[in-house]
Chains A and B, each alone.
Chain A
Amino acid sequence: MKIRYDFVTNSSSTSFVIISDGEFNFKEFIEAVGIKNDSAFFDIYQSLFDAFRDYMEPAREFYAKHYAGTYSTFEEFIEQQLWKSGKEVLPKVLEAEKKGKKVFIGKLSSDNDEIESFFCTDEFIIESDKLFIDAQENGW
């Protein structure tokens, strides 16, 4: 039997989708984020990039590995797992796949460090000509 005492906190995780025209790389990520290279806050976006890179998996592999037992199709998984923006993201994902772009999915967690925790609980889109990141599904 386990009884929790003192502060009780809940944790959160946020699914993200990355659509990249080519390899997901830091230069294009920073350009899309819009932060200057000499900004005193450059490092927090480096941390965000590192978190994306560490947790992302090719979308269909991610589905097959983690959610094939929950959702009967990949399309259903995208629409329902990304409960906030899945319906808008699905056509983008399918179109990107047709064009040979890379599509990744992963999760940020609030259990790691405070920088990742903030991004996990924030809702955002990062977008440029070559990159689209949707992290609006906030499970906080």
Chain B
Amino acid sequence: MKLAYDFYKSLLLINKNLTKEIFLEKSGAQSGYSLNMFSRMYDSVTSELINVDLEYKKFYSFEYENIEQFLYRKYNIRGKYIDELMQFRKDNPDCILYRKDDHSYGDYGIPQFMFSESMYDRIIEILTLKKQTNED
């Protein structure tokens, strides 16, 4: 799940077991241009990720009584989106909450395309390893 906040910044739920090898294997890209393209997608989505769970625990847990309050007050996330994030995480307990600058990778086109309407559901399925988690 990806949730935009502020200016070109996003919260992302990504499965803790995801690696570049798994991402590429699940994309079906095995060589040539497709492998290059999906490699850049993985590098883009994982570039400069900040673990929000750790950030909260380490720096803000004394200030906010739970992560929901932290997201609401520190990042101005609306309540209904926090509920969606928390519900998604409850359904996918292996996912870690990250935040990132959408353009940290330097290639503007790749992140824009991978979260476009045509790609979003399929990319999220890989990032969360949702099918695998449900089958498990």
Contacts and interface: CB of A to CB of B under 8 A. Distances in A.
A109 interface: no
The SS class assigned to the B binding surface is: helix
Contact of B34 (A34, A118, A121, A128): A34
A34 B116 contact: no
B31 A34 contact: yes
Interface residues of B, number: 22
Contact of A34 (B33, B118, B119, B122): B33
Interface string B115-136: 0111100100100000000000
Given A45-B34, A121-B109, A122-B37, A35 B28 contact: yes
A45 B30 CA distance: 14
Contacts of B125: 40
Contact of B118 (A39, A115, A126, A140): A115
B32 interface: yes
A41 B122 contact: yes
B86 interface: no
A33 B32 contact: yes
B113 interface: yes
Interface in A33-74: 33-36, 38-42, 44-45
Interface of B: 27-38, 109-110, 112-113, 116-119, 122, 125
13 contacts: A34-B33, A34-B35, A35-B30, A38-B28, A41-B27, A41-B28, A41-B122, A42-B28, A114-B116, A114-B118, A118-B116, A121-B109, A124-B33
Interface of A: 32-36, 38-42, 44-45, 113-115, 118, 121-122, 124-128, 140
